[in-house]
Amino acid sequence: MIKTQVEIDKAAMLLKLLGDKTRLTMMKILDTHDCCVCEFVEIFKTSQPSISQHLRKLRDVGLVKEERRGQWIFYSMNKSNEYYSFIQQVINQLPDQNYHLKELEEKGTRITCC
Amino acid sequence: MIKTQVEIDKAAMLLKLLGDKTRLTMMKILDTHDCCVCEFVEIFKTSQPSISQHLRKLRDVGLVKEERRGQWIFYSMNKSNEYYSFIQQVINQLPDQNYHLKELEEKGTRITCC
DNA sequence: TTACTATATAATAATTTACTTATATATTCA
DNA sequence: TGAATATATAAGTAAATTATTATATAGTAA
């Protein structure tokens, strides 16, 4: 179910989630590409547990999905989430972040398995 | 100047600001009505300093303006702020919050000075 | 099997946030 | 002028958030 209006409590909760540069960038990237944890670790140059914890928060409210592919776990946007259209209104206004993936490709560390 | 795209850092900062139920509701109300501090105090049933501090954060980034009218200080949306259109995309998706003002009017505590 | 890689989770520490209490300033009104 | 009202700010505190370190689990590959 897609909402055109979001209760104020839910909206505040979602905006707080997006109000972090790491998570916001993740969401922008995931809107167009699936990504595995180790790629995010490289993109954000932070620790793996930190990335996992950010992803967990996004997953806990159903904004993203996870799926194992071989040894990797790929995250993807959950476009059937009831708040996806709300989220989309925000991320559509953000500049493209796919240069991060380009950088991984150039370094040869982009994971394109399965 | 109105931006159609907002840098990711700025966007995260703005979303964090909006990611609080009190501030988000304030912004939704201010988008259609000016409001003074004591009205917010009554609406949110919290302390006056707490309200002032929330308003200060919104004012510090230029999202709202303040203006003294007699003994009251009225806050209003700064619609010429460069991030207003970004903000608007968010608050347009929120349910109307003007019932709060209706309640004040019914109680006779709505301030309509000057 | 053993070693290695990828990921999650738990525990902890550091930082940030939001609220409260106390107080200062500005305005109005008697 | 003095009292009352409206607001801002400072200081302190409690709660929430984020990152780190340590460790556990699961898959892969020798």
Mean pLDDT score, A79-99: 97
The separation, in Å, between residue B104 CA and nucleotide C15 C1' comes to 39
- Residue A109 is predicted with a pLDDT of 87
Tokens of residue A101, six digits: 């993936």
A23 and A54 Cβ atoms separated by less than 8 Å: yes
Q: Do B25 and A8 touch (CB under 8 A)?
A: yes
Mean pLDDT score, A65-85: 96
B15: nearest CB among A4, A9, A18: A18
Mean pLDDT score, A34-51: 96
Mean pLDDT score, A32-43: 97
CA distance A76 to B92: 27
B5: nearest CB among A14, A15, A93: A93
B111's enclosing H/E stretch is none
**Segments making up each domain of chain A, as ranges:** 8-107
- Residue B4 is predicted with a pLDDT of 73
CATH 1.10.10.10 matches A8-107: yes
- Residue A113 is predicted with a pLDDT of 58
Per-residue pLDDT band for B113 (boundaries 50, 70, 90) equals low
pLDDT > 70 fraction of chain B, expressed in percent and rounded: 96
**Chain B CB contacts of A14 below 8 Å:** 19
Q: Do B19 and A13 touch (CB under 8 A)?
A: yes
In whole numbers, what is the pLDDT of chain B averaged over residues? Answer: 95
pLDDT at A5 over 90: no
> In chain B, which residue's Cα lies nearest the Cα of A19?
B16
- Residue B66 is predicted with a pLDDT of 97
pLDDT at B17 over 60: yes
Q: Where do we find the tokens 């999905």?
A: A65
User: A13 touching B, CB under 8 A?
Assistant: yes
Q: Do A15 and B18 touch (CB under 8 A)?
A: yes
CA distance A102 to chain B (A): 18
Question: Tens digits of per-residue pLDDT, B56-97?
Answer: 999 999 999 999 999 999 999 999 999 999 999 999 999 999
B72's enclosing H/E stretch is strand B72-77
